[in-house]
Structure 1
Amino acid sequence: MVVVVLTACPAGLRGHLTRWLLEVSPGVYVGKVSARVREQLWLQIQDLCKDGRAIMIHSKRGDQGLDFRVHKHDWEPVDFDGVHLIRRPAAPSSQSPMRKGWSNASKYRHARKVK
Protein backbone atom coordinates (compact mmCIF):
# COMPACT_ATOMS: atom_id res chain seq x y z
CA MET A 1 0.00 0.00 0.00
CA VAL A 2 1.34 3.43 -0.94
CA VAL A 3 0.08 6.90 0.02
CA VAL A 4 1.57 10.01 -1.60
CA VAL A 5 0.74 13.55 -0.48
CA LEU A 6 1.76 16.43 -2.76
CA THR A 7 1.73 20.13 -2.00
CA ALA A 8 2.29 22.86 -4.63
CA CYS A 9 3.46 20.42 -7.30
CA PRO A 10 3.06 20.80 -11.08
CA ALA A 11 0.02 19.34 -12.83
CA GLY A 12 2.28 17.07 -14.92
CA LEU A 13 3.42 15.21 -11.83
CA ARG A 14 -0.16 14.85 -10.64
CA GLY A 15 -1.13 13.42 -14.03
CA HIS A 16 1.80 11.01 -13.97
CA LEU A 17 0.80 9.68 -10.55
CA THR A 18 -2.78 9.02 -11.67
CA ARG A 19 -1.44 6.36 -14.05
CA TRP A 20 -0.45 4.22 -11.05
CA LEU A 21 -2.43 5.52 -8.07
CA LEU A 22 -5.94 6.78 -7.31
CA GLU A 23 -6.37 10.44 -6.37
CA VAL A 24 -8.76 10.28 -3.39
CA SER A 25 -8.50 13.98 -2.55
CA PRO A 26 -6.64 16.88 -4.20
CA GLY A 27 -2.96 16.04 -3.85
CA VAL A 28 -3.51 12.71 -2.03
CA TYR A 29 -2.82 9.49 -3.96
CA VAL A 30 -3.39 5.91 -2.77
CA GLY A 31 -2.65 2.57 -4.37
CA LYS A 32 -0.97 -0.79 -4.23
CA VAL A 33 2.12 -1.12 -6.40
CA SER A 34 5.25 -3.25 -6.35
CA ALA A 35 8.43 -2.08 -4.66
CA ARG A 36 10.08 -1.48 -8.02
CA VAL A 37 7.26 0.75 -9.24
CA ARG A 38 7.22 2.54 -5.89
CA GLU A 39 10.94 3.32 -6.21
CA GLN A 40 10.47 4.62 -9.76
CA LEU A 41 7.52 6.75 -8.65
CA TRP A 42 9.63 8.29 -5.90
CA LEU A 43 12.39 9.13 -8.37
CA GLN A 44 9.81 10.76 -10.66
CA ILE A 45 8.38 12.71 -7.73
CA GLN A 46 11.83 14.02 -6.80
CA ASP A 47 12.58 14.99 -10.41
CA LEU A 48 9.25 16.65 -11.22
CA CYS A 49 8.32 18.20 -7.86
CA LYS A 50 10.34 21.43 -8.39
CA ASP A 51 9.31 23.87 -5.63
CA GLY A 52 6.60 21.63 -4.18
CA ARG A 53 6.72 19.19 -1.29
CA ALA A 54 5.99 15.47 -1.20
CA ILE A 55 5.52 12.75 1.39
CA MET A 56 5.33 9.04 0.57
CA ILE A 57 4.12 6.48 3.09
CA HIS A 58 4.38 2.82 2.20
CA SER A 59 3.96 -0.52 3.92
CA LYS A 60 7.06 -2.26 5.22
CA ARG A 61 7.77 -5.32 7.29
CA GLY A 62 8.51 -4.53 10.91
CA ASP A 63 6.90 -3.40 14.14
CA GLN A 64 5.36 -0.24 12.69
CA GLY A 65 4.36 -1.81 9.41
CA LEU A 66 5.13 1.36 7.46
CA ASP A 67 7.90 3.67 6.35
CA PHE A 68 7.88 7.17 4.93
CA ARG A 69 9.97 9.49 2.81
CA VAL A 70 9.86 13.25 2.50
CA HIS A 71 11.00 15.62 -0.24
CA LYS A 72 11.63 19.33 0.43
CA HIS A 73 9.50 19.24 3.55
CA ASP A 74 9.97 21.06 6.85
CA TRP A 75 9.07 17.95 8.80
CA GLU A 76 11.85 15.40 8.87
CA PRO A 77 11.82 11.65 9.58
CA VAL A 78 13.84 10.53 12.60
CA ASP A 79 14.75 7.08 13.85
CA PHE A 80 14.07 6.93 17.59
CA ASP A 81 15.28 3.57 18.96
CA GLY A 82 14.02 1.69 15.92
CA VAL A 83 10.72 3.58 15.70
CA HIS A 84 10.40 6.00 12.79
CA LEU A 85 8.82 9.30 13.78
CA ILE A 86 8.33 12.69 12.12
CA ARG A 87 9.95 15.67 13.83
CA ARG A 88 8.10 18.94 13.43
CA PRO A 89 10.21 22.07 13.20
CA ALA A 90 10.27 24.26 16.28
CA ALA A 91 8.03 27.29 15.99
CA PRO A 92 10.03 30.50 15.71
CA SER A 93 9.72 32.78 18.69
CA SER A 94 8.27 35.56 16.50
CA GLN A 95 5.13 33.50 15.82
CA SER A 96 4.22 33.03 19.47
CA PRO A 97 5.41 36.11 21.30
CA MET A 98 5.14 35.88 25.06
CA ARG A 99 4.70 39.21 26.73
CA LYS A 100 6.81 39.74 29.77
CA GLY A 101 5.22 40.78 33.02
CA TRP A 102 2.01 39.94 34.82
CA SER A 103 -1.31 39.13 33.17
CA ASN A 104 -4.29 41.39 33.85
CA ALA A 105 -6.00 38.71 35.95
CA SER A 106 -2.85 38.32 37.99
CA LYS A 107 -2.66 42.08 38.59
CA TYR A 108 -6.30 42.15 39.77
CA ARG A 109 -5.74 39.25 42.18
CA HIS A 110 -2.66 40.90 43.56
CA ALA A 111 -4.49 44.20 43.98
CA ARG A 112 -7.28 42.46 45.99
CA LYS A 113 -4.71 40.82 48.28
CA VAL A 114 -2.94 44.12 48.95
CA LYS A 115 -6.16 45.94 49.99
Structure 2
Amino acid sequence: MFVTLRITAVPDHLRGYLSRFLVEYGTGLYVGNVSRRIVDSLWSRVTDAAGEGEIVLVTSEATNEQGFKVRLHQGRGKEVVDMDGFELLRSIPEGAYYDSEPFPD
Protein backbone atom coordinates (compact mmCIF):
# COMPACT_ATOMS: atom_id res chain seq x y z
CA MET A 1 0.00 0.00 0.00
CA PHE A 2 1.44 3.38 -1.00
CA VAL A 3 1.57 5.90 1.87
CA THR A 4 2.19 9.62 2.11
CA LEU A 5 2.37 11.12 5.61
CA ARG A 6 2.79 14.78 6.52
CA ILE A 7 3.55 15.76 10.11
CA THR A 8 3.72 19.22 11.65
CA ALA A 9 4.84 20.20 15.17
CA VAL A 10 5.37 16.69 16.51
CA PRO A 11 8.04 15.43 18.94
CA ASP A 12 11.45 14.58 17.43
CA HIS A 13 11.30 10.93 18.55
CA LEU A 14 8.29 10.47 16.27
CA ARG A 15 10.36 11.47 13.24
CA GLY A 16 12.91 8.79 14.09
CA TYR A 17 10.19 6.19 14.46
CA LEU A 18 8.67 7.06 11.08
CA SER A 19 12.06 6.82 9.35
CA ARG A 20 12.10 3.09 10.16
CA PHE A 21 9.25 2.50 7.73
CA LEU A 22 9.09 5.52 5.41
CA VAL A 23 11.53 7.82 3.61
CA GLU A 24 11.53 11.55 4.48
CA TYR A 25 11.59 13.53 1.22
CA GLY A 26 11.10 16.94 2.79
CA THR A 27 10.69 18.35 6.26
CA GLY A 28 7.81 16.37 7.74
CA LEU A 29 6.90 14.65 4.44
CA TYR A 30 7.23 10.86 4.50
CA VAL A 31 6.54 8.43 1.64
CA GLY A 32 6.67 4.66 1.44
CA ASN A 33 5.12 1.38 0.40
CA VAL A 34 4.11 -0.75 3.41
CA SER A 35 1.41 -3.26 4.38
CA ARG A 36 -2.00 -2.23 5.68
CA ARG A 37 -1.06 -3.61 9.10
CA ILE A 38 1.97 -1.29 9.23
CA VAL A 39 -0.15 1.67 8.12
CA ASP A 40 -2.68 1.06 10.90
CA SER A 41 0.12 0.63 13.43
CA LEU A 42 1.84 3.83 12.25
CA TRP A 43 -1.41 5.79 12.45
CA SER A 44 -2.10 4.60 15.98
CA ARG A 45 1.45 5.32 17.17
CA VAL A 46 1.68 8.71 15.47
CA THR A 47 -1.68 9.99 16.71
CA ASP A 48 -0.92 8.84 20.26
CA ALA A 49 2.45 10.61 20.31
CA ALA A 50 1.59 13.72 18.27
CA GLY A 51 0.30 15.88 21.11
CA GLU A 52 -0.84 19.11 19.49
CA GLY A 53 0.84 18.25 16.18
CA GLU A 54 -1.02 17.94 12.91
CA ILE A 55 -0.94 14.74 10.85
CA VAL A 56 -2.25 14.01 7.37
CA LEU A 57 -2.07 10.44 6.10
CA VAL A 58 -2.92 9.54 2.49
CA THR A 59 -3.02 5.87 1.51
CA SER A 60 -3.80 4.12 -1.75
CA GLU A 61 -7.34 2.71 -1.81
CA ALA A 62 -8.67 0.68 -4.71
CA THR A 63 -12.26 0.63 -3.45
CA ASN A 64 -13.13 4.28 -4.09
CA GLU A 65 -13.25 6.57 -7.13
CA GLN A 66 -10.25 8.67 -6.17
CA GLY A 67 -7.93 5.75 -5.56
CA PHE A 68 -6.82 7.07 -2.17
CA LYS A 69 -8.04 7.60 1.40
CA VAL A 70 -7.24 10.56 3.66
CA ARG A 71 -6.93 10.53 7.46
CA LEU A 72 -6.55 13.77 9.39
CA HIS A 73 -5.50 14.32 13.02
CA GLN A 74 -5.68 17.78 14.66
CA GLY A 75 -6.83 19.36 11.41
CA ARG A 76 -6.82 22.91 12.83
CA GLY A 77 -10.14 23.96 11.37
CA LYS A 78 -10.33 21.32 8.65
CA GLU A 79 -12.09 18.02 8.31
CA VAL A 80 -12.39 15.26 5.72
CA VAL A 81 -15.91 14.83 4.34
CA ASP A 82 -17.25 12.18 1.99
CA MET A 83 -19.17 13.63 -0.94
CA ASP A 84 -20.67 10.78 -2.95
CA GLY A 85 -17.53 8.69 -2.68
CA PHE A 86 -15.05 11.55 -3.01
CA GLU A 87 -13.11 12.58 0.07
CA LEU A 88 -12.73 16.34 0.24
CA LEU A 89 -11.16 18.65 2.78
CA ARG A 90 -13.50 21.26 4.23
CA SER A 91 -12.56 24.30 6.28
CA ILE A 92 -14.58 24.84 9.43
CA PRO A 93 -15.04 28.46 10.55
CA GLU A 94 -13.89 28.95 14.14
CA GLY A 95 -16.75 28.46 16.59
CA ALA A 96 -19.04 26.92 13.96
CA TYR A 97 -21.13 23.88 14.82
CA TYR A 98 -21.89 21.28 12.17
CA ASP A 99 -23.89 18.12 12.58
CA SER A 100 -23.12 14.98 10.60
CA GLU A 101 -24.47 16.41 7.33
CA PRO A 102 -21.74 17.25 4.78
CA PHE A 103 -23.01 20.77 4.09
CA PRO A 104 -25.62 22.12 6.52
CA ASP A 105 -28.27 24.55 5.35
TM over 0.5, shorter chain: yes
TM-score (norm 2): 0.83
Q: Determine the structure 2 residue equivalent to 1:78.
A: 81
Number of residue pairs matched by the alignment: 92
Tell me how far apart the structure 1 counterparts of residues 71 and 20 of structure 2 sit (CA, whole Å). Answer: 21
User: In the alignment, does 2:20 pair up with 1:15?
Assistant: no
Q: Percent identity?
A: 37
Tell me how far apart the structure 1 counterparts of residues 82 and 52 of structure 2 sit (CA, whole Å). Answer: 26
Q: CA deviation at 1:12?
A: 0.5
Counterpart amino acid of residue 91 in structure 2:
R
Counterpart amino acid of residue 66 in structure 1:
F
Point out where structure 1 has 5 or more consecutive residues left out of the alignment. Answer: 93-115
Tell me how far apart the structure 2 counterparts of residues 47 and 91 of structure 1 sit (CA, whole Å). Answer: 25
Tell me how far apart the structure 1 counterparts of residues 47 and 5 of structure 2 sit (CA, whole Å). Answer: 12
Q: CA deviation at 1:89?
A: 2.8
Counterpart amino acid of residue 24 in structure 2:
E
Q: CA deviation at 1:87?
A: 0.5
Q: Determine the structure 1 residue equivalent to 2:65.
A: 63
- Comparing both structures, which one devotes a greater share of its residues to helix? 1
Q: Determine the structure 2 residue equivalent to 1:87.
A: 90
Alignment map for 1:15-34 (pairs within 5 Å): 15-34=16-35
The superposition leaves residues 45-85 of structure 1 with CA deviations (integer Å, 9 ceiling, x where unpaired) of 11110111100000001210000101111210001112111
SS of structure 1 residue aligned to 2:93: coil
Q: Determine the structure 1 residue equivalent to 2:3.
A: 2
SS of structure 2 residue aligned to 1:9: coil
- Comparing both structures, which one devotes a greater share of its residues to strand? 2
Q: CA RMSD in A?
A: 1.4
Point out where structure 2 has 5 or more consecutive residues left out of the alignment. Answer: 96-105
TM-score (norm 1): 0.76
